[in-house]
Every structure is written in structure tokens, then in C-alpha cells.
Amino acid sequence: MNRLGRRCLSALALLAIGTLSACKCNSGNRPTGTIEKKYYAPGPWTPVTVSVGAYCCDSQNHKFDLFYPTNLGANGFLHPILTWGNGSFGKASDVAYFLNHLASWGFVVIATEDAFTGPGQTILDAANFLAQANNDPSSIFYHKLNTGQIGAVGASQGAGGATNALIKSAGTIKTVIPIELPAHMWCTLGPDCLDTHNLTSGSVFFIDGSSDILVSPPTQPPNVTGLESIEAYYNAVPPGVPKLKGTLICPNHNDITGQPGCQTAVPPCVNGVYGYLGYPTAWFMDRLQGDTYAHGAFVNGTGEIFSETRNWEYVASNIQ
């Protein structure tokens, strides 16, 4: 959440209690579709290596955390890059289960240790660091990365930051998944507040949880103007930019931090990370690894995500 004060945590906690009682969460967001099930499972690139703070630095002198397949470059494979954006006061270890999962599908994931990533520059710096490492003979990533296939993903403040990173990247970042993107009313970053009218290249998959109505509401009442919901952010993306949105039924603002359940998650959390594993991984497989099977989940009207109403609602897409 963009500079969202700690004073809001109690309000969020109360919201979590109220909405949890109202939701029917029997599925726990476990996947029901065959495509989602495939990418919900760990990928073929296990084991994964985690390197915390071993590389330096972004433009604000923060170190980087990395999650990558241990057997880098096996059989000549060039790994696409994903750059992660932390939420306010957050760190990559909060979402380690999620980032490990992405790495198991062949991505090299880098996360700046910046805890206020909304402007997007440090997220972009992280991607650029790996692009440079690919050309450094002393790096373990030397000639093992596909620097032409870079994606961004982030949660809360980092959702806006990841999207800003794409906008600032001049085309080097190809796709983004903003998770629990806060309504504009929460942003105090002035010109760095995300405006999806400026998202003129790449592609985007907006994801929110149905219990996160205080920070990241899925829909917008007719009398409310501006970018105050996922619906508004989605609608503001210019025509011609591939876009998708979907609301996970029941998760709250920090379910992405489940490891995988809510027992050790940052509150508020309803189900845990389960719903964020399948389709987000499939999206990156489609967009950055050319996976045509994954693509079938997202086609407008006929994609699998449209039929998975046990876990997903408010789904919209212009994907062909």
C-alpha cells in the first residue's frame, strides 16, 4: 500500500474478521481447473537457491535478494527474469513461498531490499542488475538469462511500483502482475502514484482479493471517479495493451505472504498464498516463455479462468 500508515493495520484486521465470517472459503483457493492445477504444482526447475543480500546495489543502495533454479542454464536454457516489488515495510522473505514457486518454473527472481518501492525505480534497477550480470563473465548468471524476456510483479505498494517499473523501462519489462494494488486514495507519492493510462506497452494481469475492499476494492460505484478500484485501473489501460483482471474469492491484503497458509503470514490473511500460485505462474509462462497451453487460461470469454467461479470473480480480459 503506497505509504499506508501502520495506523491502518487495526482497521484492516477488523475488516479481515468481518469479511472472513461473510465469505464461504471452503476451497481455500486450491485450484479446480486443469491449467491452473498444472502451474499450481512446483515446476521442473527444483531445487531452488535463495541468496539474501549477496548482491549490490540499486540506485538507493539497497541490496538484492535472489531466488533461482540451482541448476542454472541446464541444457542451454536461458532463464527469463522476474523483478519483485515489496509492499510497504516489506521484504522478499515475506513472500518467499511465492517467489520460490516462480523460480521452480525456470525464472530467475530478483528483489530489491527497498521497503518503499512505489516509484518503481529500484524494481527496475533490480532487473537491470541481472541484465548486466548476464554479460559479466565473473557472474554465475553469465549467458544464462534471457534478457529479452523480463517481467515484474509486486504486492501492495510494490504492485504500483512494479507497474511503474514497466512504464519506466522503455519496453525492457514486457509484462507485470500487480497484486492487491491500492486505490489511488492511499497514494502519497505525487507524480509517482500509478496511472495506468500511461501503461502503453507490455501486458498486465491485475489480481486482488475479495476481502481487501478497504485498500484494493475490485469494483467502483458509479458516483466515484478516479482510479479507486481494480476495475478503474483495468479500464484505464489504453486499448491495444493486453490486459486481464481477476478477483480471488476471500483473500485479504496479505494472503500473498502465506508460507503457504496464514499461520506465519503478515495479517490480514484469510487463506494464504494458494490462489496466487497457479494462474500468475501460467501468465508468466505464457508471456515470457511462450507457453501456449498456459495461454489457454486467459483468452477472453473462453479462457479457463472465466469458468473457475469457485475461486475467481470479476474476471475480464482482452486476450485473444
Of 22 and 70, which is predicted with more confidence? 70
Alpha-carbon distance of 9 to 140, in angstroms, equals 41
Please give the Cα distance from 89 to 115 (Å, whole number): 5
Cell numbers standing for residue 297: 487460461
As a whole number of angstroms, the distance between CA 137 and CA 188 comes to 42
User: For 191-210, what is each residue's pLDDT tens digit?
Assistant: 999 999 999 999 999 999 99
Q: For 106-160, what is each residue's pLDDT tens digit?
A: 999 999 999 999 999 999 999 999 999 999 999 999 999 999 999 999 999 999 9
Q: Where are the domains of the chain?
A: 6-317
Task: Judge contact between 146 and 81, C-beta under 8 A.
Answer: yes
pTM above 0.85, yes or no: yes
How many CA atoms lie within 13 Å of 118's alpha carbon, on the beta-carbon side?
Answer: 23
The answer as to CATH 3.40.50.1820 being correct for domain 6-317 is: yes
